[in-house]
Structure 1
């Protein structure tokens, strides 16, 4: 399970780490990374954004990927808030 910013979701980095699944927790629409399973969770980067629906959506995706031997990158724009919350929630399960 990897954590990063939008910049870390580039093709070269994904290839180097053999990432098979990407979770994008961002406000904007993104193109899915080529050749990888992708979950796009569009949510604003604000203090009052409700992360509960995102956590319910990402949990089974991450769990299934890891259970199947996949490598998952969870990222938001800066890798400092939304993606960290998703990874922490997964680790606390």
Structure 2
């Protein structure tokens, strides 16, 4: 199944995408996403509790001088937990252009 504006980095485990993909509850459900890591200043609307999607947000501006390194340990831990627990994770920023992972 093709997912517009999303790349599979590890098939059926780790995906990189944009804000549109992260906000599409239907696409998240269709691709059985269990975790979403948002690397952006934008707030993502809260999911319905029954969706079961775990979320983490790194509130960072989309600028060249943003310090991503201070967030790397917690982001990697979240990604690792998602994959080790058998989940699927979408990591995204606003335009799928600055994701450092």
Question: Is this a same-fold pair by TM over 0.5?
Answer: yes
3-state SS, counterpart of residue 60 of structure 1: helix
Aligned residue number for residue 6 of structure 2? none
* Alpha-carbon contact 1:32-1:38 (below 8 Å) kept: no
Equivalent position to 1:46, from 63, 67, 70:
63
Task: Give runs of ≥4 in structure 1 deviating > 3 Å.
Answer: none
Name the counterpart of 1:91: none
Q: Deviations over 1:13-65 (max 9, x none)?
A: 10110000000111122223332000011001000000012212211111011
Query: Could you tell me the TM-score, scaled by structure 1's length?
Result: 0.84
Secondary structure in 1 matching 2:79: helix
Taking structure 2 as the reference length, the TM-score comes to: 0.78
Give 5+ residue unaligned stretches, structure 1: 87-93
The alignment's C-alpha RMSD in Å is 1.1
Choose between structure 1 and 2: higher helix proportion.
1
Higher Cα Rg, which structure: 2
| Pairs within 5 Å for 1:75-86 | 75-81=92-98, 83=99, 85-86=100-101
2:37 matches 1:20: no
Q: Which runs of 5+ in 2 are unaligned?
A: 1-13
Identify if the C-alpha distance between structure 1 residues 73 and 47 changes in structure 2 by more than 3 Å, giving closer, same or farther: same
Q: Show the counterpart of 1:6.
A: 19
